[in-house]
Amino acid sequence: MNLNLIRQKLRSIEGYVDELEPYLEIPLEEYLKEAGRRRIVERLSQLLVECAIDTNNLLIVYSGKETPGTSRESFEIVKDIEVLDESLFERFNRTYIGFRNRLVHDYERLDNVIVYKTAKRLIEDMRKYVRCILDYTISIEQD
Protein backbone atom coordinates (compact mmCIF):
# COMPACT_ATOMS: atom_id res chain seq x y z
CA MET A 1 0.00 0.00 0.00
CA ASN A 2 1.23 3.49 -0.71
CA LEU A 3 0.40 6.97 0.46
CA ASN A 4 -1.43 7.75 -2.79
CA LEU A 5 -4.47 5.78 -1.60
CA ILE A 6 -4.58 7.84 1.58
CA ARG A 7 -4.27 11.07 -0.39
CA GLN A 8 -7.02 9.93 -2.73
CA LYS A 9 -9.32 9.51 0.29
CA LEU A 10 -8.32 12.98 1.50
CA ARG A 11 -9.31 14.43 -1.88
CA SER A 12 -12.68 12.68 -1.57
CA ILE A 13 -13.14 14.23 1.86
CA GLU A 14 -12.27 17.68 0.51
CA GLY A 15 -14.79 17.21 -2.29
CA TYR A 16 -17.54 16.17 0.11
CA VAL A 17 -16.77 19.12 2.39
CA ASP A 18 -16.98 21.49 -0.58
CA GLU A 19 -20.26 19.90 -1.63
CA LEU A 20 -21.75 20.00 1.88
CA GLU A 21 -20.85 23.55 2.84
CA PRO A 22 -23.33 25.41 0.58
CA TYR A 23 -26.23 23.37 1.97
CA LEU A 24 -25.51 24.77 5.43
CA GLU A 25 -25.04 28.42 4.50
CA ILE A 26 -28.72 29.17 4.98
CA PRO A 27 -30.24 30.03 8.37
CA LEU A 28 -31.47 27.15 10.51
CA GLU A 29 -35.11 28.15 10.03
CA GLU A 30 -34.82 27.74 6.26
CA TYR A 31 -32.88 24.50 6.60
CA LEU A 32 -35.65 23.01 8.73
CA LYS A 33 -38.23 23.69 5.98
CA GLU A 34 -36.38 21.83 3.23
CA ALA A 35 -36.53 18.04 3.57
CA GLY A 36 -34.48 17.48 0.40
CA ARG A 37 -31.69 19.70 1.69
CA ARG A 38 -31.74 17.90 5.03
CA ARG A 39 -31.35 14.50 3.33
CA ILE A 40 -28.39 15.77 1.31
CA VAL A 41 -26.73 17.11 4.47
CA GLU A 42 -27.32 13.81 6.25
CA ARG A 43 -25.87 11.71 3.43
CA LEU A 44 -22.82 13.92 2.90
CA SER A 45 -22.15 13.97 6.64
CA GLN A 46 -22.31 10.19 6.70
CA LEU A 47 -19.91 9.95 3.75
CA LEU A 48 -17.45 12.31 5.42
CA VAL A 49 -17.24 10.26 8.59
CA GLU A 50 -17.01 7.01 6.65
CA CYS A 51 -14.19 8.42 4.49
CA ALA A 52 -12.31 9.44 7.63
CA ILE A 53 -12.72 5.91 9.02
CA ASP A 54 -11.45 4.45 5.73
CA THR A 55 -8.52 6.87 5.77
CA ASN A 56 -7.67 5.88 9.33
CA ASN A 57 -7.67 2.23 8.39
CA LEU A 58 -5.43 2.83 5.37
CA LEU A 59 -3.02 4.83 7.50
CA ILE A 60 -3.00 2.18 10.22
CA VAL A 61 -2.24 -0.60 7.74
CA TYR A 62 0.44 1.58 6.11
CA SER A 63 1.97 2.00 9.56
CA GLY A 64 2.24 -1.79 9.89
CA LYS A 65 -0.49 -2.18 12.46
CA GLU A 66 -3.50 -4.45 12.35
CA THR A 67 -6.81 -3.04 11.13
CA PRO A 68 -8.95 -2.12 14.15
CA GLY A 69 -12.24 -3.83 14.92
CA THR A 70 -14.27 -0.64 15.34
CA SER A 71 -14.46 2.87 14.00
CA ARG A 72 -13.72 4.31 17.41
CA GLU A 73 -10.60 2.16 17.69
CA SER A 74 -9.39 3.50 14.35
CA PHE A 75 -9.50 7.06 15.67
CA GLU A 76 -7.82 6.00 18.89
CA ILE A 77 -4.93 4.36 17.03
CA VAL A 78 -4.50 7.38 14.77
CA LYS A 79 -4.38 9.58 17.87
CA ASP A 80 -1.91 7.21 19.54
CA ILE A 81 0.49 7.43 16.59
CA GLU A 82 0.28 11.21 17.06
CA VAL A 83 -1.60 12.11 13.90
CA LEU A 84 -4.62 13.67 15.61
CA ASP A 85 -4.54 15.90 18.63
CA GLU A 86 -6.64 15.07 21.68
CA SER A 87 -9.41 17.60 21.00
CA LEU A 88 -10.00 16.53 17.40
CA PHE A 89 -9.89 12.88 18.44
CA GLU A 90 -12.47 13.56 21.16
CA ARG A 91 -14.89 15.23 18.74
CA PHE A 92 -14.71 12.27 16.36
CA ASN A 93 -14.90 9.74 19.18
CA ARG A 94 -17.67 11.41 21.20
CA THR A 95 -19.68 13.11 18.47
CA TYR A 96 -19.15 12.13 14.87
CA ILE A 97 -19.03 8.34 15.17
CA GLY A 98 -22.36 8.30 17.02
CA PHE A 99 -23.75 10.93 14.62
CA ARG A 100 -22.85 8.72 11.67
CA ASN A 101 -24.43 5.70 13.37
CA ARG A 102 -27.69 7.57 13.96
CA LEU A 103 -27.74 8.75 10.34
CA VAL A 104 -27.12 5.28 8.95
CA HIS A 105 -29.09 3.08 11.28
CA ASP A 106 -31.90 5.45 12.20
CA TYR A 107 -31.61 4.41 15.86
CA GLU A 108 -33.80 7.28 16.90
CA ARG A 109 -35.74 10.05 15.29
CA LEU A 110 -33.22 12.60 14.04
CA ASP A 111 -33.28 16.04 15.60
CA ASN A 112 -32.79 18.27 12.55
CA VAL A 113 -31.44 21.12 14.67
CA ILE A 114 -28.71 18.84 16.02
CA VAL A 115 -27.96 17.53 12.51
CA TYR A 116 -27.59 21.10 11.22
CA LYS A 117 -25.29 22.21 14.04
CA THR A 118 -23.24 19.00 14.01
CA ALA A 119 -22.79 19.08 10.23
CA LYS A 120 -21.63 22.71 10.40
CA ARG A 121 -19.00 21.76 12.98
CA LEU A 122 -18.08 18.65 10.99
CA ILE A 123 -17.03 20.82 8.04
CA GLU A 124 -14.46 22.66 10.15
CA ASP A 125 -13.23 19.49 11.83
CA MET A 126 -12.92 17.57 8.56
CA ARG A 127 -10.68 20.32 7.21
CA LYS A 128 -8.52 19.97 10.33
CA TYR A 129 -8.54 16.20 9.96
CA VAL A 130 -7.35 16.43 6.34
CA ARG A 131 -4.53 18.80 7.35
CA CYS A 132 -3.43 16.45 10.15
CA ILE A 133 -3.37 13.38 7.92
CA LEU A 134 -1.70 15.22 5.05
CA ASP A 135 0.98 16.67 7.35
CA TYR A 136 1.62 13.21 8.75
CA THR A 137 1.98 11.64 5.29
CA ILE A 138 4.42 14.38 4.29
CA SER A 139 6.49 13.74 7.42
CA ILE A 140 6.56 10.01 6.64
CA GLU A 141 7.92 10.67 3.16
CA GLN A 142 10.61 12.98 4.52
CA ASP A 143 11.92 10.36 6.97
Counting residues of the chain whose pLDDT is more than 70, the rounded percentage is 97
- For 93-117, the pLDDT digits (tens) are 999 999 999 999 875 688 999 999 9
What is the pLDDT averaged over residues 111-130? 97
Query: What average pLDDT does the segment 27-53 reach?
Result: 97
pLDDT score at 2: 80
The vertex-90 CA angle with 84 and 91, nearest 5°, equals 100
**What is the pLDDT, as a whole number, of residue 140?**
85
Q: What CATH code is carried by the domain that includes residue 92?
A: 1.20.120.580
pLDDT grade for 1, boundaries at 50, 70 and 90: low
Q: Quick one: which of 131, 46, 48 has its CA closest to 85?
A: 131
- According to the model, what pLDDT value does residue 77 have? 96
- 94: containing domain: 3-142
Q: What is the pTM of this model?
A: 0.93
* Residue 10: partners with Cβ closer than 8 Å, 6 or more residues away: 55, 130, 133, 134
How many separate domains does the chain show? Answer: 1
